[in-house]
Amino acid sequence: MKYISILGSTGSIGTQTLDVVREHSDELKVCAITGNNNIELLKEQILEFSPELCCVMNEGKALLLKNMLSGNIKTEILSGMDGLIAAAEYDKSEIIVTAVSGMIGLKPTVAAIKKGKTIALANKETLVTGGSYIMDLAKLYHSAILPVDSEHSAIFQSLMSSSEKSINKIILTASGGPFRGKDTEYLKNVTIDDALKHPNWSMGKKITIDSATLMNKGLEVIEAKFLFDVKPEQIEVVVHPQSIIHSGVEFCDHSTIAQLGLPDMRVPIQFALFYPRREKNSYKSLSLSEIGKLTFEKPDVNVFKCLGLAFEALKAGGTMPTVLNASNEACVDLFLNKKISFLDIGNINEKIMLKHNPVKIDSIETILAAEVFVKKTLESIL
């Protein structure tokens, strides 16, 4: 039996991870789950999976959940950051699926790494905000970081045919999001609902908006740089609207290996949970003849400036990706609350980056200080 903790079990990745557990209930057991607000779903998950621990980030809701559960439930209910960390460090759990959204994932992920746990990393913001500090920490504590993000899982699987040393370039595919092919004039007036209509994937709100601005691809460029230790110039982003080729690697002999599949996040989740084994499942098979055509385009970084900003942030180094990530997270929140327009997201990210002098990340405090810088700068801009 493999024991796992799921941080963010009520979200899109969290619920799909539980689907994988359902499919393999003879081999996977959930010890700890966490959520923020959705206590109705947490209650259902407790009744179905009987985890030993459940953390509700929101303290008031944690009390409500306790009341909703009858006395004979054995699950311990915790709340707040301490509870989230307890789920990440849970003794019995071998693998921690980090599926919370945003940089709130940093502290629990660091805690899990320090316990030498295997991290099934969905929460890309943690790696973007912490960069090489996270990777070095993982090496120090012998904690494996296995990508769940479909592109990085594809790169990871492609690399199984050779090694990181022989990479020529990484080919990072992007669906292009709901506004593929649109110009800046069009984007001036798009609404929240327009931005939330992703053509291929059903995901949480934050990542769906990031997919519309192409910031998601920018965050993935940064994620790839740190996970696979490549130079930014070695990462080529290609728009591939069908989302069948999930990404690939061109090796030094000019042979390219890529991973293909229908867009279904349960595949990379399962791969991370069973790595290095492949396991059967009941998911749909890929039929290339039914799909017929796979197409590719260059992304338009003039219209989708967030993607260009990610490369700039990597060039600047140190805390610049941290600042871009924190600024973007705040901007997405403001956009979802109708305080700024869609195009403001990229414009404000750029302004905040211009005001930042990056420093080397040598501790979690440096990361948190960069995030405070963003909060203050944002207040002065708005």
Q: How far is the CB of 378 from Mg ion (least distance, A)?
A: 26
Q: For residues 43 and 266, which CB has a smaller minimum distance to Mg ion in the complex? A: 266
189 binds, among Mg ion, ligand NDP, none (CB under 5 to 8 A by kind): none
12 binds, among Mg ion, ligand NDP, none (CB under 5 to 8 A by kind): ligand NDP
Interface with Mg ion includes 371 (CB under 5 A)? no
Q: How far is the CB of 36 from ligand NDP (least distance, A)?
A: 3
Q: How far is the CB of 102 from ligand NDP (least distance, A)?
A: 6
* Segment interacting with Mg ion (CB under 5 A) among 33-41, 45-53, 150-158, 319-327: 150-158
Q: Give ∠ CA 150-156-161 in degrees, rounded to 5.
A: 135
Tokens of 51: 């985890």
Q: Torsions phi, psi of 12, nearest 5?
A: -65, -50
The rounded distance, in Å, linking the Cα atoms of 341 and 76 is: 42
Q: How far is the CB of 168 from ligand NDP (least distance, A)?
A: 25
What is the CB-side half-sphere exposure of residue 198 using CA atoms within 13 A? 22
Q: How far is the CB of 217 from Mg ion (least distance, A)?
A: 8
For binding to ligand NDP (CB under 6 A), which residues are involved?
Answer: 8-14, 35-38, 57, 99-101, 104, 122-125, 149, 201, 203-207, 265
349 binds, among ligand NDP, Mg ion, none (CB under 5 to 8 A by kind): none
100 binds, among Mg ion, ligand NDP, none (CB under 5 to 8 A by kind): ligand NDP
User: Which are the contacts of 198, defined by CB distance < 8 A and separation ≥ 6?
Assistant: 175, 177, 178, 208, 211, 212
User: Of the candidates 154, 55, 38, 151, which has an alpha carbon nearest to the alpha carbon of residue 111?
Assistant: 55
213 binds, among ligand NDP, Mg ion, none (CB under 5 to 8 A by kind): none
Q: How far is the CB of 334 from ligand NDP (least distance, A)?
A: 16
The rounded distance, in Å, linking the Cα atoms of 291 and 27 is: 34
Q: For residues 189 and 202, which CB has a smaller minimum distance to ligand NDP in the complex? A: 202
Q: For residues 150 and 322, which CB has a smaller minimum distance to Mg ion in the complex? A: 150
The rounded distance, in Å, linking the Cα atoms of 321 and 104 is: 16
CB-nearest residue to ligand NDP: 11
109 binds, among ligand NDP, Mg ion, none (CB under 5 to 8 A by kind): none
Tokens of 325: 């990530």
> Site for Mg ion (CB under 5 A): which residue of 52, 125, 149, 223?
149
Q: How far is the CB of 294 from ligand NDP (least distance, A)?
A: 21
User: Of the candidates 267, 272, 244, which has an alpha carbon nearest to the alpha carbon of residue 156?
Assistant: 272
Tokens of 221: 């460029």
| φ/ψ bin of 102: left (φ > 0), alpha (ψ from -120 to 50), beta (otherwise) | left
CA dihedral 280, 281, 287, 290 (to 10 degrees): 170
Q: For residues 118 and 150, which CB has a smaller minimum distance to Mg ion in the complex? A: 150
> How many C-beta atoms lie closer than 10 Å to residue 275's C-beta?
18
The helices-and-strands tally (H runs, E runs) of the chain is 18, 11
Q: For residues 7 and 249, which CB has a smaller minimum distance to ligand NDP in the complex? A: 7
* SS3 state at 343: helix
Q: Give ∠ CA 6-7-8 in degrees, rounded to 5.
A: 105
Q: For residues 117 and 206, which CB has a smaller minimum distance to ligand NDP in the complex? A: 206
The binding site for Mg ion (CB under 5 A) comprises 149-151
